[in-house]
Amino acid sequence: MIEINNLTFTYPTGTNALKELNLKINDGEKIGIIGQNGAGKTTLIKNLNGLLKPTKGSVIVNGVDTRNVQIADMSKTVGFVFQNPADQIFNPTIKGEIEFGLVQQGFKKNEIKHRTDSVLKNIKLYEKRNVHPSNLNYSERKLLTIASVLAMDPKIIIFDEPITGQDYKGKIAVEKIIHSLKDKTVIIISHDMEFIARMVDRIIVMCDGRIIADDSKIKIFQNNKALCTAFVEPPEALKISKKLGLKPCLTIEECIEEAKKVFK
């Protein structure tokens, strides 16, 4: 569980990026964080894994106050997938990239091999395991960074813009992986509302360092005031279902099901 109490974060430059945030995230929840660039989304998630420590207030992750632990220890509980794979890849082989975190965490050789092989097979890069990551395309590199986090099996996984720059095939691959994380707490930042609608149950809307709405996805996507303030458009499926007079649908699959009932 994550408990955020009166969290304020001010950068050394004086920018007040988070203003007295209060938030509770339960185990296994799938959460989307949306809002304009500069709203405070990335600052918030960096406070969840201890990359940043609160200026005021506290962040308690599974009973541990982030101010009292090292980032290395936090990474066992909270996995973080950065937006740009280049920020996260630095090993000379694909296999080495996955093994690195496991070695740092002191896993035994057999366990490291088992986990590495397993995640590489999962993302279909096992055959290329000895190749330099720079030989992968953007989508594959993104999958590699996700796999290196999954290998450590953290309870909470944070994705910062996981599908930015991805094509259709890349998006589908990322979606499949996130869907498979059923028992994990998943927190996703994204500007793609179709993706958010398919991936999460609850949405937090941020604007100017504050949480302006926090509710189920269906309620958030019908909260025009919050969406407008955060400069966010609802998913296309919702607009289409309205035009067709159907019950509000957030995904096109739902919309098709509803349309089949009405239009014979």
| Dihedral class, residue 214 (left if φ above 0, else alpha if ψ from -120 to 50, else beta) | beta
Q: Is residue 60 at the binding interface for another protein, with CB under 8 A as the rule?
A: no
Q: Is residue 15 at the binding interface for another protein, with CB under 8 A as the rule?
A: no
Stretch that binds another protein, among 86-94, 104-112, 113-121, 240-248 (CB under 8 A): 240-248
Number of residues that bind another protein (CB under 8 A): 32
Query: Which H helix or E strand runs over 190?
Result: none
**Contact with another protein (CB under 8 A): which of 60, 64, 69, 252?**
252
d(CA 64, CA 201): 25
Q: Give the 3-state secondary structure of residue 135.
A: helix
The residue type of 30 is: K
**Contact with another protein (CB under 8 A): which of 12, 14, 37, 134?**
37
CA atoms within 13 A on the CB side of 22: 2
Q: Is residue 240 at the binding interface for another protein, with CB under 8 A as the rule?
A: yes
Residue with tokens 């993706």: 195
User: x/- contact string, 169-188, with another protein (CB under 8 A)?
Assistant: xxx-----------------
Task: Please report how close the Cβ of residue 66 comes to another protein at its closest, in angstroms.
Answer: 27
Q: Is residue 164 at the binding interface for another protein, with CB under 8 A as the rule?
A: yes
Q: Is residue 256 at the binding interface for another protein, with CB under 8 A as the rule?
A: yes
As given in the structure block, the two tokens for residue 42 are: 């990335």
What does the buried/exposed string (b/e) look like for 98-107 if buried means 16 or more CB atoms within 10 Å of the residue's CB? bbbbbeeeeb
Q: Contact residues for another protein (CB under 8 A)? A: 36-38, 137-139, 164-171, 191, 194, 231-233, 235-237, 240, 243-245, 252, 255-256, 259-260, 263
